[in-house]
Chains A and B, each alone.
Chain A
């Protein structure tokens, strides 16, 4: 402990002994940050979603339901929202078994390579989405690596179209989101007491039964966290559909972007954002009734 305290510190100390002031700073500061820069902006788009889109990107502040009417009337936008959710489900359904297998491997294996293999997964987190996503263009395009290889091997004569399809987009999403399943599953699996598994097998359980009754239930936290993150990120993905996807099968995020930037229709972009947010919030609400959302977020974000 330093014997001399600056006068400034002494004054601050006395101020901070006041409980209310202290509360405003800690935890108040973080809550204030989220309210200011997330809750208020969300409120603003709710308000603007009821305004009239004028010409040349103007917004006329008169109450109207026309933006929501437009969503309800046209089939196009329902399809886009439903398609986004569906691609989110597909991505999650593919990523889960692959990610689980790798997380299980890392959790159970005794290989000396384990730390390097784990490090490589963490490294994936660090590499920006845009780099990991567009790299698939070089691999999958008509004059890309895969077509070149297949032609060289004589499997095909002419390049086949792989890029700009739903398949290439889902591939890009799955690969970039796998770490969100691998790491939490690894954490869950590696904390399972191996004696339990041995005991089950000694008592005559098959591999599968031991897995189903011991390993699987205990790795549920990892699975839940992974599924939550992969679904939310893939359904709302912007880069993968834009760079790798089929331009005829649009997803919600690129649509909101183009309504905002190209059509310059801010009220409708706001309305679409609000609608999509309500859908996601509804799904999260249902999710929260079955599982602990805080725990899932903590597990999934724990890098």
Chain B
């Protein structure tokens, strides 16, 4: 990797405290920090994937040999299957709900004039500001008070809430770029709001809705801190199962589950963004 941008003048310069450091050494230091940071970010992921093939129960690292033993265990573990299915259902449900709610809400914020708009934007973004532990406790007490049974819907509705600010922001930024005269044209030709939305607006903002839904899925799929309060045995999700396994014993079975999570959470966005690029060209 050759880096020219910062090293246009290679002359040593007047440094501070009487120390002179040539520009290219500074750039070298920046590169060194970058390499260190990438190493630290990738190391945990590599370690988890490698350790999922570790036959030893204690999971000493590095493994002395590699095997699919814990993957076989996973295949026969019904709790884990249920957790994985639940996580995917919740993720898809939250993505659909937040995609829908995010779209109509962003439309309103971009197209309409109303009072307290700036304050209401902060309201829309507030799920980003309340620590998840508090969201977890508050929603549990609320649903228990209201008497909502602890079903998977509870989790879907709350994950949609946690993903909503992202969906809102992503779709809104696309709407800002939207040429409103297209909608005006449709209206002039006699189309009502629904038809205009379906035939004109939706096709143009569809890529951002897809992005928003993928992001909400990813957030939902990995959420633990708030979700731990909302699940019960039949509605448990993968992060909750991983956490409870960590509390009891750490065997490479955890790494198998984590590796599967890793694969799902990386391939789904890549796949969908790939398809999106093919269809919309961006």
Q: Give A contacts to B, CB under 8 Å.
A: 1-2, 5, 9-10, 12-14, 16-17, 22-23, 25-31, 33-35, 37-42, 44-45, 48, 98-99, 101-102, 104-106, 108-113, 117, 120-121, 123-132, 134-139, 143-145, 148, 175, 178-179, 182, 194, 198, 201, 206-208, 232, 235-236, 238-239, 243, 252-253, 256-257, 260-261, 266, 269-270, 273, 276-277, 280-281, 284, 293-294, 297-298, 301-303
Do B194 and A260 touch across chains, with their CB atoms under 8 A apart? Answer: no
A-B contact pairs, 28 of them (CB 8 A): A16-B194, A26-B104, A26-B112, A28-B105, A33-B160, A37-B142, A41-B141, A42-B134, A44-B142, A110-B4, A127-B261, A127-B265, A127-B266, A128-B222, A130-B242, A131-B261, A139-B47, A145-B61, A206-B13, A207-B13, A207-B26, A236-B134, A256-B133, A260-B140, A273-B133, A276-B134, A284-B129, A298-B125
Among A194, A201, A253, contact of B133 (Cβ-Cβ < 8 Å): A253
Is B5 an interface residue when CB atoms closer than 8 A count as contact? yes
Which residues on A sit within 8 Å (CB–CB) of B75?
none
Stretch of B38-46, B66-74, B76-84 with 4 or more beta carbons under 8 angstroms from chain A: B38-46
Residues of chain B within 8 A (CB-CB) of A27 are: 104-109, 112, 114, 120, 124
Question: Is there contact, CB below 8 Å, between A34 and B124?
Answer: yes
B131: contacting residue among A2, A132, A144, A280, CB under 8 A? A280
Chain A proximity of B20: nearest CB distance (Å):
10
- Name the contact of B161 in the complex, choosing from A34, A182, A261 (C-beta under 8 A): A34
Known: A98-B33, A139-B47, A294-B125. A22 touches B193 (CB 8 A): yes
**Is residue B234 within 8 Å, beta carbon to beta carbon, of the partner chain?**
no
Q: Indicate if the CB atoms of A29 and B225 lie closer than 8 Å.
A: no
Q: Residues of B contacting A243 with CB < 8 Å?
A: 246
Give the top 8 A-B pairs by smallest Cβ distance, nearest first.
A13-B192, A128-B222, A30-B105, A27-B108, A236-B131, A135-B44, A26-B108, A41-B142
Chain B, residues 170-183, CB within 8 Å of chain A (1/0): the string is: 10010000000000
| Contact A13 B158, CB 8 Å, known A120-B41, A208-B16 | no
Q: DSSP class of A's interface residues: helix, strand, loop or mixed?
A: helix
**In the complex the two chains form, what is the Cα distance from A292 to B160 in whole Å?**
26
**B79 CB, min distance to chain A CBs, angstroms:** 17
Contact B218 A126 (CB under 8 A): yes
Are the C-beta atoms of B41 and A38 separated by less than 8 Å? no
Chain B hits for A293, CB < 8 A = 122
Least distance between B132 CB and chain A CB atoms (Å): 7
- The answer to whether A123 and B157 have CB atoms under 8 Å apart is no
User: Is B93 close to A, CB under 8 A?
Assistant: no
Complex CA gap A17/B33 in Å reads 58
Name the residue on B nearest A16 (C-beta): B193
Contact of B275 with A by CB under 8 A: no
- Which residues of chain B are near A99, meaning CB under 8 Å? 37
Closest CB in chain A relative to B70 CB, distance in Å: 14
Residue in B closest to A40 when the chains form the complex, CB atoms: B142
The reply on B202 being an interface residue by CB < 8 A is no
Q: A297 to B165, Cβ gap below 8 A? A: yes
Residue B207 is within 8 A (CB to CB) of chain A in the complex: no
- Asked whether, in the complex, the Cβ of B239 is within 8 Å of the Cβ of A123, the reply is no
Binary flags per residue of B227-269, CB closer than 8 Å to A gives 1, else 0: 0110000000001001100100010001100100110011001
Given contact pairs A1-B199, A34-B124, A297-B125, A128 touches B221 in the complex (Cβ within 8 A): yes
> Complex: how many Å from CA A157 to CA B95?
52
Which of these, A1, A23, A131, contacts B186 with CB under 8 Å? A1
B60 at the interface (CB under 8 A from A): yes
Nearest CB on A from B108, distance (A): 3
Whether B53 sits at the interface, judged by CB under 8 Å, is no
**In the bound complex, do residue A12 and residue B194 qualify as a contact, i.e. CB atoms below 8 Å apart?**
yes
Residue of A nearest to B125 (CB): A297
Taking CB atoms, residues of chain B closer than 8 Å to A104 are 30
Contact A135:B165 (CB < 8 A) given known A117-B38, A238-B133, A297-B125: no
A99→B34 CA distance, assembly (Å)? 9
Most buried by A among B34, B51, B125, B166: B34
Give the docked Cα–Cα distance between A45 and B47 (Å): 41
B205 within 8 A of A: no
A148 to B143, CA, bound (A): 48
For residue B271, CB closer than 8 A to chain A, the reply is no
Query: Which residues on B sit within 8 Å (CB–CB) of A39?
Result: 123
* Max chain B Cβ within 10 angstroms of own Cβ: one of A17, A28, A44, A243: A44
Q: Identify B228's interface contact among A31, A40, A208, A257, CB under 8 A.
A: A257
Q: Which of B112, B120, B195, B223 has the most CB of A within 10 A?
A: B195
A175 touches B40 (CB 8 A): yes
B101 in contact (CB, < 8 A): yes
**B118 interfacial contact with A, CB 8 Å:** yes
- Tell me, in angstroms, the Cα distance from A81 to B16 when the chains sit together: 40
Given contact pairs A102-B34, A138-B59, A301-B166, A1 touches B195 in the complex (Cβ within 8 A)? yes
Cβ of A108: which chain B residues have Cβ within 8 Å of it?
A: 5-6
Of residues 11 through 49 on chain B, the ones whose CB sits less than 8 Å from some CB of chain A are 13-16, 23, 26, 30-31, 33-34, 36-38, 40-45, 47-48
CB contact between B195 and one of A5, A101, A207, A266 (< 8 Å): that residue = A5
